[in-house]
Amino acid sequence: MKLGIIGKPQSGKTTVFNAASGQQEAVGDYSQASHRAIIKVPDQRVDQLAELINPKKKTYAEIEFLDSAGFTGKGKNASSFEISPDLRLMDAFVVVVDAFSSDAKPMADLQDLIDEMILADQVLIETNIEKRERKVNLTGDKSEMAEIDLLKRCLSQLEGEKPLIDLDLSESEWKMLRGYQFLSAKPLIITLNIAEDDIERVDQIKAEYAKFEREKKSGVTALCGKIEMELVGLADDERQAFLEELGIKTPAVDNVIQTSYALLGLISYLTAGEPEVRAWTIRRGTNAQKAAGVIHSDIERGFIRAEVTAYVDYMEHKTPAALKAAGKTRLEGKEYIVADGDVILFRFNV
Ligand SMILES: Nc1nc2c(ncn2[C@@H]2O[C@H](COP(=O)(O)OP(=O)(O)O)[C@@H](O)[C@H]2O)c(=O)[nH]1
Ligand SMILES: [Mg+2]
């Protein structure tokens, strides 16, 4: 999964990037330089299983973060688009909004960013419609008409100043649009970057942004980037003490990652053995055979069956023998739909 961090200059993008990745890129320098990192998806199930099994290695699921400039924050007045082409390749955006500075206008900033995406998509669509219509006129080949019609529907949505993600399209229509990588069609994880003093009011602040939430598409989170960045630099025990002092259970940046995961319809299953305890990312609805392919194509090809235990049962009964005795380990075939937190042992031959 790839997440692009976007936002106005000085909104705290690089601060959030550092908090999520543990890197130490310069902040507040107006450079708008881009940064990339692969980060681990925090997962207590991996930690707990590892504690139980004591494996040689524990491995979390991973996502890629790209901190990239391109949004001016000028909204409808944005004239030239310098949005990095790399941002179009992201699965979703973490939109960082300044809600910490004394003259912050987070609601307006957020709207400006969305307007900027709408505008950029509009330019892209107009050129594409033109190009395709010219081709139809030249060749008389009408096969492009369905796509042109769809693009025109998208265009009128954008002209109505609404993002493409709000369009009600069929699965096959979305598929037709996929190649364009429209910005306003991507899920948003709106991340309000709040001041230190506002941490206690976080739920109240989030509630003000409920109108930007879209079920299974866009969500709202809030954090104080500055504190999160300090947290990531601390050793585990120091971090724990600091969190307790702040009265929070987990770093808020973990929330951002988990929200992104959920919005994109991603889940994890786990493998648990002495060599390694590991989380693997799949889309919700993936069957056991396809899920095995994430580990290795040989396991998918040679799939015989999956021995599946729910994570909670695993933690309760603790050993494969006890799990089997309690009837908590099921044998499942290829078509079994893997659930979040399934602990799986694949049987296969090659
Ligand atoms: N007080 C406060 N300042 C922040 C917070 N997050 C970022 N900043 C400051 O805002 C400035 C811009 O941050 P930066 O991450 O470089 O923004 P970018 O231009 O969007 O990458 C820096 O001086 C940060 O220290 C925050 O949560 N609280
Ligand atoms: Mg930056």
Q: Pick from 44, 90, 43: which is nearest to 62 by CA? A: 43
Q: Which atom of ligand 1 is nearest to the CA of 225?
A: 27
3-state secondary structure labels for all residues of 9-41: CCCCHHHHHHHHHCCCCCCCCCCCCCEEEEEEC
Q: Which two tokens stand for residue 170?
A: 């069929």
Q: Which two tokens stand for residue 174?
A: 């979305």
How remote is the CA of residue 246 from the centroid of ligand 1, in Å?
Answer: 20
Q: What is d(CA 12, CA 15) in angstroms, rounded to the nearest whole number?
A: 5
Q: What is d(CA 165, CA 150) in angstroms, rounded to the nearest whole number?
A: 14
Amino acid at 186: K
Q: In what order do the strands lie in the sheet with 92-99?
A: 35-40, 62-67, 2-7, 92-99, 188-194, 219-223
How remote is the CA of residue 239 from the centroid of ligand 1, in Å?
Answer: 21
- The structure tokens 């309000």 sit at 192
- The structure tokens 């893997």 sit at 338
Cite the beta strand spans of 178-275 per DSSP E.
188-194, 219-223, 266-272
pLDDT in 10s for each residue of the chain, 350 residues: 899 999 999 999 999 999 988 899 999 888 878 999 998 888 899 999 999 999 999 999 988 999 988 787 777 777 666 678 889 999 999 999 999 999 999 999 999 999 999 999 999 999 999 999 999 999 988 888 999 999 999 999 999 999 999 999 999 999 999 999 999 999 999 999 999 999 888 889 999 999 888 887 889 999 999 999 988 888 888 988 988 888 777 788 888 888 888 888 899 999 999 999 999 999 899 999 999 999 999 999 999 999 999 999 999 999 989 999 999 999 999 999 999 999 999 999 98
Does ligand 1 come within 6 angstroms of the Cβ of 15?
A: yes
- The structure tokens 């688009």 sit at 81
Q: Pick from 210, 187, 341, 212: which is nearest to 264 by CA? A: 187
Q: What is d(CA 116, CA 95) in angstroms, rounded to the nearest whole number?
A: 13
What pTM value is reported for the model? 0.84
**Ligand 1, atom 25: nearest CA belongs to which residue?**
28
SS3 of residue 24 by DSSP = coil
Does ligand 1 come within 6 angstroms of the Cβ of 281?
A: no
Is residue 39 within 8 A of residue 246, CB to CB? The reply is no
State how beta strands 330-332 and 303-310 pair. antiparallel
How remote is the CA of residue 98 from the centroid of ligand 1, in Å?
Answer: 8
